[in-house]
Amino acid sequence: MAQAGPLVFYRICNIEPSQDAAAVALSQKIVGLANRKHPKAQMTASKGRWMNGFQEIAQPVNQILFTEQHPNQTAHQDFTEALLDDDDFQVLQQKISGVIDVSSCVDTQFRASP
């Protein structure tokens, strides 16, 4: 029987106008914190443009893509719960909500090929 690949989680959020540098800097701090405290999560962030329900072709905006990779759903839930209980993470979350449009965030979850 083929083994399932890792669980991949994407979160794409629109960056507020004129906040590209701040969004990138804060997202890198979030990734650094997550990778220091939970290195198995393999979290990354990158700036770009991706199509989602909040992205208009005629008026594109820059976005941040957060990516996490976990061996299974339980590991993803444990990672999320641990971060939500982390005071340093909460401070960064509050700051980043000022530079990204939180209401525009779209989450996607899928299994990668093994």
34-45: pLDDT as tens digits = 999 888 888 999
Query: Cα-Cα-Cα-Cα dihedral of 14, 94, 82, 47, to 10°?
Result: 30
Identify the three-state secondary structure at position 20.
helix
Say what the pLDDT of residue 3 is: 62
DSSP string, 61-99: --EEEEEEEESSHHHHHHHHHHHHT-HHHHHHHHHHTTT
Say what the pLDDT of residue 33 is: 94
Low-confidence ranges of the chain (pLDDT < 50): 1
